[in-house]
A = this chain, B = another copy of it.
Amino acid sequence: MSTEAHDRQFVVALARGLDILRCFRADEPLLGNQDIAKRTGLAKPTVSRLTYTLTQLGYLVHEARFGKYRLGAPVLSLGYAALAGLDVRQVARPFMEELALYSDVAVSLGSPDRTSMIYTESCRGRGALTIRLGVGSRVPLATSAMGRAYLAALSEAERTRLLDEVRRFHPENWERVAAGVEQAIKDYQTRGFVLSLGEWQSDIHAIGTTIRLPDSGQIMGLNCGGAAFVLPRERLEQDLGPRLVEIARRIEASLGA
């Protein structure tokens, strides 16, 4: 789990506890010890001790009715504090709202986390049908527009390393997924943005690009997407793609000021 074979600075018990918290997802918010043991590969007594500890601290709540756990309110407090630490959101938001208003779909900003991107800001258009993903949602690297843009912006070495991990999530259609990533890299280099046309979810179309933070050089993703039927390929390529790249540049300029 740690970067080195035997890293004595790395605290394994803490990492295991956080691994348990990561098992909980929006689409599956209730999990039992058995579920957790399966997902983490940890022994059942180990899971029992760790969930007991997390429950004592409030991070998990035991729902006796189902014999399962859900995440407790303290993680909301962490999320709130995390957002406060992201100055880039305040700077980016007006530009994102401008494009969301123009396009009538959602514009989102996100940070990488292992093999996903996590939405850190989201602006919705006034369109009647708009994507439900809020701040904190995860989208996959290889099939979402934001994820593909992020991969495209990485160094070759870093991308190869990540794709090795990503591959494990697409056991049956890796060649097709890899081809999509390859095309995205080309699009990124040619015109500054990438496409995802039903490859993440069948009825979702999106474009993505990246923003590079001035001090840390950290790369964040920026996307624009929604229901496929209001976002035909031509509209994405001719109209919204160039606009997304433009607001990404303007955000970067505002950050650098």
Contacts and interface: CB of A to CB of B under 8 A. Distances in A.
Interface in A71-94: 71-86
Residue among A52, A58, A76 with max Cβ neighbours from chain B (10 Å)? A76
A95 interface: no
Contacts of A17: 11, 14, 17-18
A26 to B, nearest CB: 4
B14 A76 contact: no
Contacts of A49: 9-11
Given A53-B15, A216-B65, A29 B84 contact: yes
Interface residues of A, number: 67
Interface stretch (A111-119, A143-151, A172-180, A243-251): A111-119
A64 interface: yes
Interface string A46-61: 0011101110111101
Interface of A: 2-3, 9-11, 13-18, 21-22, 24-27, 29-30, 48-50, 52-54, 56-59, 61, 63-65, 70-86, 110-114, 116, 118-120, 134-138, 215-216, 218
